[in-house]
A = this chain, B = another copy of it.
């Protein structure tokens, strides 16, 4: 999103504000490069600061605002999920994984540093994400902090992000063996790989706000739907976009035999599916009234974005 757009819509202004807030929180919460291990911390900061749309952080901040959660607490949780997300990108870009040299328009962490440093920086970002959640400044109620740790772990572990990444890596092997994933299997892959963490981000505000279970469930359903819509939009960009627009190499998914919903559904049906999910996501928010307007606008935004 360019600065000119950022001043044009309430959503863009809110996203820019949330991104600035989480950037400031990350700067404080990440360690400073000191001592013989400074290189590790430099790589952690390189991988995390100054980049990305901060979609997950925005979801945390907006969800928390629905329950009048202290913004400083929400920003810590937002920073934590961005650290977790950054760790996953650092490891995904490694030569043994997706082997990407470019991330957010600059060299990926293992190119800017080296493979060993990138592995360790990813490891340490994951560690710090959980540490931040467990610290007393995140919430006065330790039950809320434990819930956040457990929910983030569930969303990012074998039954979540990392499980999805494993299936993603195996898909080309299965394809070559004549066992291409079907639409349902690709849907599950994407739900695990990207969906669960986006769902967690949407739910985190309800955990912070000690909301009623039904409210948390509505936000979870919203998160699930925009997560899938977001992933389809991402895959459409890979097919249709240019490297200059999205800051990373494009057309790679098909070349690498990656399993995507665009691949199994085709362009037309995939775009229709994303639009349907965006509309459905907005409907989950009806009971929240105007306070959820930015989240409703986000549902449209994720399927219309060009980068």
Q: Name 20 extra pairs, CB < 8 A, besides A120-B165, A127-B158, A134-B146.
A: A35-B188, A36-B188, A41-B158, A44-B158, A91-B120, A96-B119, A120-B169, A122-B123, A124-B158, A124-B163, A127-B162, A128-B153, A128-B157, A131-B157, A134-B149, A135-B146, A135-B150, A142-B142, A142-B145, A142-B146
User: Which B residues touch A304, using CB under 8 A?
Assistant: none
A/B interface sample: 25 pairs, CB < 8 A: A31-B158, A36-B166, A36-B170, A36-B185, A36-B189, A37-B164, A39-B166, A44-B158, A96-B115, A96-B116, A120-B166, A123-B126, A123-B162, A124-B162, A126-B126, A128-B153, A128-B157, A128-B158, A133-B149, A134-B147, A142-B142, A142-B145, A142-B146, A145-B146, A146-B146
Q: Complex: how many Å from CA A167 to CA B143?
A: 36
Q: How far is the CB of A144 from chain B (nearest CB, A)?
A: 9
Q: Complex: how many Å from CA A127 to CA B127?
A: 8
Q: Complex: how many Å from CA A156 to CA B129?
A: 12
| Residue among A119, A128, A136 with most chain B CB within 10 A | A119
User: Does A200 reach chain B (CB closer than 8 Å)?
Assistant: no
User: Which B residues touch A136, using CB under 8 A?
Assistant: 146
User: Does A58 reach chain B (CB closer than 8 Å)?
Assistant: no
| Residue among A114, A157, A169, A188 with most chain B CB within 10 A | A157
User: Which B residues touch A37, using CB under 8 A?
Assistant: 158, 163-164, 166-167, 192
Q: Oligomeric state, in number of copies?
A: 2
Q: How far is the CB of A188 from chain B (nearest CB, A)?
A: 8
Beta-carbon contact of B123 and A91 below 8 Å = yes
User: Which B residues touch A135, using CB under 8 A?
Assistant: 146, 150
Q: Complex: how many Å from CA A91 to CA B126?
A: 14
Q: Mark A156-184, 1 if CB is under 8 A from B, else 0.
A: 11110011111101100000000001000
User: Which B residues touch A298, using CB under 8 A?
Assistant: none
Q: Given A145-B142, A167-B37, check contact A162 B131 (CB 8 Å).
A: no
Nearest-CB residue, chain B, relative to A153:
B131
User: Which B residues touch A35, using CB under 8 A?
Assistant: 163, 167, 188
Beta-carbon contact of B162 and A120 below 8 Å = yes
User: Does A97 reach chain B (CB closer than 8 Å)?
Assistant: yes
Q: Given A31-B159, A130-B130, A166-B39, check contact A119 B91 (CB 8 Å).
A: yes
User: Does A307 reach chain B (CB closer than 8 Å)?
Assistant: no
Q: How far is the CB of A128 from chain B (nearest CB, A)?
A: 6
User: Which listed residue, B122, B149, B156, B166, touches A117 by the CB 8 Å rule?
Assistant: B166
User: Does A284 reach chain B (CB closer than 8 Å)?
Assistant: no
Q: Complex: how many Å from CA A224 to CA B215?
A: 47
User: Does A232 reach chain B (CB closer than 8 Å)?
Assistant: no
User: Does A154 reach chain B (CB closer than 8 Å)?
Assistant: yes
